[in-house]
Amino acid sequence: MTINADTHAGPRSDVAAETAETNALKTTAEPASTHAPSAPSHPLGPLSASEITQSSDLIRSAWPENTALYFKVVTLREPAKKELVPYLAAERAGKAVPSIDRRAFVVYSLKGTHNLHEAVVNLTAKKIESNVKLGPFVHPNADGDEIVAIEKAALSHPDVLAEVAKLQLPEGAELVVDPWIYGADGLKEGKFYDDVRLYQCYIYMRDPENSSEKDSCHYSFPLPISPVIDPATMELIRIDILPTGLDETIAPLSAYKPRPANEYIPESQHTMRTDLKPLHVQQPEGASFTVEAFSDLGRTIRWQKWDFKVGFNQREGCVLYDVHYDNRPLFYRLSLSDMSIPYADPRSPFHRKAAFDLGDVGAGWMANNLELGCDCLGSIYYLSSVLSDTRGKPVEMPNVVCIHEQDSGILWKHTNYRTNRAVVVRNRELVLQTIITVANYEYILAYVFNMAGDFTYEVRATGILSTQPLDLDLTTTPHPYGTAVHLGVLAVHHQHFFSLRVDPMVGGHGNQITYDEAHAMPRDPKLNPHGVGYTVRKTEIETSGGFDLDPSRNRVFKITNPAVRNKLNNLPVAYKVMVPPMQPILADRDSFHYKRAEFADRSIYVTRHKDHELFAGGQYTNQSRGGTGVRSWAERREDVKEEPVLWVNFALNHIVRTEDFPVMPAEMLRVMFRPANFFERNPSLDVPSSKQAFNCSVGLNGVEGGVEKLSVGDNTGCCGK
């Protein structure tokens, strides 16, 4: 168990490393690619299968033959904003569009090494535009191939098996490994390292009474042995033994004590409910939205005056571009840019536990293949995509986004009590949903639009808690860092931070971020003699920085366009941002959790737009050390009266409940964007009223034998038969 240190032997500066590698590169003037020129493609279209192949072939052609490359990312390099804005404007106006080269962004390593490279490939010109070796302290994302290999490596290593043997597990015990992103602690002494990319493997066991059940919840049986593995070499670096008590003591491994299982699969439940009646959502005339291809994989969605382009990539999953309402511009680009989940347990090795699931793995990669009738209800359209595998070959990603409409209650109502006439309009919503599985955990991510110009980003956190072993007899003792969720199972508290990146164009480009606060007026014999007056104060954000919410002042952030005025009242058009308040990251300012999660300390960051600054934690989050994300960009103290980018950070502190195990009921977070003096009046006045002839509801009241009972007879509504 030694670390393969010679990967980074010799000088480590970027310049030296690049010089050494550059010599190995062939010229890219005459690419080896044999791809036929592809048809003109939209600059925002996700890389097509052939473009992925073309990109990796081009990169391969730059290296001596038989150099084994390992592709980590092959994705669209989006055009610079100053190129794209005129393109989109021309496209919308139905005019000839300027030509924009298609480019790919490629991250790859030399197979079996930690040598990491980043390249930009011009697919139109068929050449590599840049190709540099990265490092030190720059690490790529995980991928499925290496995770499977690590699971195998961990469980086949004799040293690991020797440790496991000490647990005297029941006959036929099946072990399961969750390779975890290693994290960072800055230590490089003794047996600890964090400057080489590593995996911390947590080992679990399937229910030994039912070990053939591959869907047994192994998180109910965490074991105290944690191998650390180098993914480049698959070498075992060391084995950590986990603390299983109330403090940092590491107890010698001892024999496993039997305990019951705790399963989430339905066939393992004692009883299932039998009294839930079906509820169907039917759209007999089809859905109200349309889907149109703007590129091989890119889609334009139109629904109830909204239109936008949908992209999909390895890192962010579903991305929206060029969002308009009623042909009025609102958002240039929208995506979930990052997440970070630091854990509360300060004991080694848990102190490094902080997942950045988008940067460390990729929301695109982890997107579920959504299934009809399971993940959405009603009339569903699925978007599929294509990503690259580690050989640079395209992989089909079917049904990664589901699109459907839903009813969400009443949007507005008024009854004129003098005439008794009620006018009711229901709130129909359009949902674009992606579900990602991050080993144990699930995130349900959705863009939601309504008919009153509101846009909501919704996150539901569900799935299974990442558990750790707890001495069986401590289950009933309060634990300082978490909750005992099962016999001998500790689930540690953790914070979830999400960063939504909003590149706005409310009413057009040239936006400004402001915030309003409501303040009481001072008592004044003339102006405020009764002490009840209050007014709204506006603050314009002029310089990039981080900002906090302040519910006590009703502080509301807005995206405004000072150049475009509401025709009625002359106020600048705006969208307000409704963000739930969060507890900032609890890890202290000198900790790596804090330094790395550059979006976890403030609810709002405002930066000046810079092409390719897309991810709040930086381009490379795995074992990152900070200094490369939104906090650092904000510290440039740039003028944001032009080209502001808004980073909306929201979070939950998951203080674990027993109810969250063995699978947790979703915790929901929502960020809402609402027009504020953007329209001159309620923009949903033209939505037809809610009527029985349209909604076909069913009345259940009925009298049966004198006792009022539910009527289940006539339940077909006005549209039955």
Active site residues: 357, 441
By beta-carbon proximity to a second copy, the closer residue of 59 and 445 is: 445
Tell me whether residue 544 or residue 622 sits nearer to a second copy (CB atom).
622
Segment 30 to 69, residues that bind a second copy, using CB under 8 A: none
Classify residue 127 by its DSSP letter: E
Site for a second copy in 460-479 (CB under 8 A): 460, 462-464, 475-478
User: What is the rounded CA–CA span in Å between residue 512 and residue 640?
Assistant: 7
Enter the tokens of residue 44.
């925002």
Tell me the CA distances in angstroms from 441 to 336, 357, 498, one per residue in order: 17, 10, 15
What amino acid is encoded at 390 in this protein?
A: T
For residue 659, the one-letter residue type is E
Tell me how far, at minimum, the Cβ of 17 lies from a second copy, in Å: 29
Stretch that binds a second copy, among 233-241, 315-323, 528-536, 616-624 (CB under 8 A): 528-536
Chain-centroid distance of CA 87 in Å reads 28
The answer to whether 554 touches 623, Cβ cutoff 8 Å, is no
The residue among 167 and 444 lying less far from a second copy, judged by its C-beta, is: 444
Q: How many CA atoms lie within 13 A of 21 on its CB side?
A: 26
User: Which of 493/641 has CB closer to a second copy?
Assistant: 493
For position 521 contacting a second copy by CB under 8 A, the verdict is yes
Distance CA 230, CA 11 (A): 21
Would you count residue 680 as binding a second copy (CB under 8 A)? yes
Complex with a second copy: residue 33 or 591, whichever CB lies closer: 591
Nearest to a second copy of 84, 150 (CB atom): 150
- Residues numbered 309 to 348 that lie near a second copy (CB under 8 A) are 342-346
> Are the beta carbons of 421 and 440 closer than 8 angstroms?
no
Question: Can residue 566 be called a binding residue for a second copy (CB under 8 A)?
Answer: yes
CA dihedral 658, 435, 227, 262 (to 10 degrees): 30
Judged by CB under 8 A, does residue 527 bind a second copy?
A: yes
Q: Binding residues for a second copy, how many (CB under 8 A)?
A: 195
Beta-carbon contacts of residue 704 (< 8 Å; ≥ 6 apart): 711
Pick from 336, 444, 634, 648 the residue near a second copy by CB under 8 A: 444
Peptide bond into 662 cis (omega under 30): yes
List all residues 6 or more positions away from 448 whose beta carbon is below 8 Å from its beta carbon.
Answer: 429, 430, 431, 432, 455, 456, 457, 458
Q: How far is the CB of 173 from a second copy (least distance, A)?
A: 16
**Least Å distance between CB 350 and a second copy?**
9
- Whether the bond between 46 and the residue before it is cis, its omega within 30 degrees of 0, is no
* Closest distance of CB 245 from a second copy, Å: 13
Asked if 653 interacts with a second copy (CB under 8 A), we say yes
| The one segment of 22-30, 119-127, 388-396, 695-703 that binds a second copy by CB under 8 A | 695-703
Strand arrangement, sheet containing 482-486: 467-469, 489-492, 482-486
Classified as helix, coil or strand, 117 is strand
Cβ-contact 480, 350 below 8 angstroms: no
* Interacting positions 178-217 with a second copy (CB under 8 A): 185, 214-215
- C-alpha to C-alpha distance for 428 and 303, rounded to whole angstroms: 11
Taking CB under 8 A as the rule, does residue 688 contact a second copy?
yes
Among 35, 127, 324, 493, binds a second copy (CB under 8 A): 493
Q: Of 144 and 170, which has the nearer Cβ to a second copy? A: 144
Q: Which stretch binds a second copy (CB under 8 A): 75-83, 133-141, 406-414, 628-636?
A: 406-414
Q: Does 19 bind a second copy (CB under 8 A)?
A: no
Residue 145: Cβ within 10 Å count? 13
Give the C-alpha separation, 364 to 526, whole Å.
Answer: 61
**Residue 424 Cβ vs a second copy, minimum distance, rounded to whole Å:** 5
Q: Which of residues 245-264 bind a second copy (CB under 8 A)?
A: 247-248, 262, 264
The interface region with a second copy, picked from 88-96, 196-204, 286-294, 355-363 by CB under 8 A, is 286-294
Closer by beta carbon to a second copy, 6 or else 686: 686
- Let me know: does 389 contact 364? Beta carbons within 8 Å: no
505 is a site residue for a second copy (CB under 8 A) = no
Of 98-106, 193-201, 480-488, 625-633, the segment contacting a second copy by CB under 8 A is: 480-488
Q: Answer yes or no whether residue 666 interacts with a second copy by CB under 8 A.
A: yes
Those residues whose C-beta lies under 8 Å from the C-beta of residue 71, and which sit 6 or more positions away, are 56, 59, 106, 107, 108, 388, 389, 390, 391, 392
Under the binding rule (CB under 8 A), the answer on residue 591 touching a second copy is yes
Cα Rg of the chain, angstroms: 28
424 binds a second copy per the rule CB under 8 A: yes
Which of 50, 124, 528, 632 binds a second copy (CB under 8 A)? It is 528
> Does the N-terminal peptide bond of residue 252 adopt cis geometry, omega within 30 degrees of 0?
no
What sign does the CA torsion over 300, 38, 22, 113 have?
Answer: positive
d(C-alpha 505, C-alpha 376), whole Å: 31
Tokens of 714: 């006539």
* Identified binder of a second copy from the candidate list 580, 610, 635, 641, rule CB under 8 A: 580
Question: 32 or 700: whose CB is closer to a second copy?
Answer: 700
Q: How is residue 412 written in tokens?
A: 């507005």
Residue 304 engages a second copy in binding (rule: CB under 8 A)? yes
If one asks whether residue 278 binds a second copy (CB under 8 A), the answer comes out as: yes
Nearer CB in complex with a second copy: 118/240:
240
Residue 168 as a binder of a second copy (CB under 8 A): the answer is no
Minimal distance, residue 417 CB to a second copy, in Å: 6
What's the burial of 327, exposed, middle or buried (CB within 10 Å: 0-12/13-18/19+)? exposed
> Residue from 77, 333, 593, 631 that binds a second copy (CB under 8 A)?
593
Q: Which of 594, 576, 573, 566 is nearest to 680 (CA)?
A: 566
363-402: contacts with a second copy (CB under 8 A): 368, 371-382
Q: Which is nearer to a second copy, 31 or 453 (CB)?
A: 453
452 counts as binding a second copy under rule CB under 8 A: yes
335 vs 684 by CB, closer to a second copy: 684
What residue type is assigned to position 479 of the chain? H
* 553 is a site residue for a second copy (CB under 8 A): yes
Question: Dmax over Cα atoms in the chain, in whole Å?
Answer: 93
Quote the least distance from Cβ 116 to a second copy, whole Å: 25
User: Does position 562 bind a second copy by CB under 8 A?
Assistant: no
Q: What are the backbone angles phi and psi of residue 184, rounded to the nearest 5°?
A: -140, 140
Q: Is 29 an interacting residue with respect to a second copy (CB under 8 A)?
A: no
Site for a second copy contains 536 (CB under 8 A): yes
